């Protein structure tokens, strides 16, 4: 599913240091979200499944077979960075190309949430999965802005940057189902939490 709700902006504040270079703080925010809901009528050999259930889960606990069901999906992603940069004054490689090297520190925060649910419409029983992923990092950046000059009034910029980041990531997983069982519902739950160092 595509992300129809997207927000993106980058803003910053800088100060010049006696024509030797610039100090700046720059913040980037990028967020996307989407949700979808569909209802399916009863059909023979129709199977509406909840994705992302643990491997080995019985098939009758992860979806609805041959019955009317309603499926719902939601996901949200947010990415943001905070950069503290020092950039030198422009120096010229040729009359048409100028470079402005920079370096600094980056703080990174990334989160993603996904949720999927299937409900059997005859009795209201459902299966649900929710996952959360978070990534936090800190590191250094090195790069340069490149200014291409075509004429006195026409030019454009490009950017080259590399970074080394270190931090951690966490993953949280929750699932529930009472879809199983023919006479009485069989309730099953799963819950996992993981944390990894990363670089």
pLDDT in tens, 75-96: 999 999 999 999 998 777 777 8
Q: Do 142 and 160 touch, CB atoms closer than 8 A?
A: no
**pLDDT at 126 exceeding the cut of 70:** yes
pLDDT in tens, 91-109: 777 778 888 899 999 999 9
The whole-angstrom separation of Cα 179 and Cα 53 is 13
State the Cα angle at 44 between 39 and 45, rounded to 5°: 95
CB count within 10 Å of CB 20 equals 9
**pLDDT at 187 exceeding the cut of 50:** yes
Supply the DSSP string of 47-71, one letter for each residue: EEE-TTPPTT--GGGSEEESS-EEE
pLDDT in tens, 133-142: 999 999 999 9
Nearest 5°: phi and psi at 131? -130, 145
Residue 174 Cα to chain centre, angstroms: 18
pLDDT in tens, 30-66: 999 999 999 999 888 888 888 888 877 877 788 898 8
The whole-angstrom separation of Cα 87 and Cα 101 is 6
The pTM is what? 0.79
């Amino acid at each position: 599913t595509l992300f129809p709700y997207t927000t993106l902006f980058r803003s910053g504040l800088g100060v010049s240091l006696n024509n030797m270079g610039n100090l700046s703080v720059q913040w980037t925010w990028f967020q996307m979200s989407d949700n979808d809901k569909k209802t399916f009528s009863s059909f023979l050999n129709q199977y509406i499944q909840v994705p992302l259930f643990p491997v080995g889960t019985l098939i009758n606990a992860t979806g609805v077979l041959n019955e009317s069901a309603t499926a719902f999906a939601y996901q949200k992603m947010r990415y943001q960075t905070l950069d503290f940069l020092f950039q030198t004054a422009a120096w010229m490689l040729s009359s048409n190309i100028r470079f402005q090297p920079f370096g600094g520190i980056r703080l990174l925060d990334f989160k993603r949430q996904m949720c999927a649910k299937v409900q059997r419409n005859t009795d209201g029983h459902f299966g649900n999965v929710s996952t959360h992923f978070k990534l936090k990092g800190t590191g250094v950046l090195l790069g340069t802005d490149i200014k291409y000059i075509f004429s006195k009034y026409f030019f454009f910029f490009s950017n080259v940057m590399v970074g080394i980041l270190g931090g951690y990531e966490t993953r949280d997983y929750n699932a529930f189902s009472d879809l199983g069982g023919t006479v009485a519902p069989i309730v099953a739950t799963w819950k996992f939490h993981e944390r990894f160092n990363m670089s």
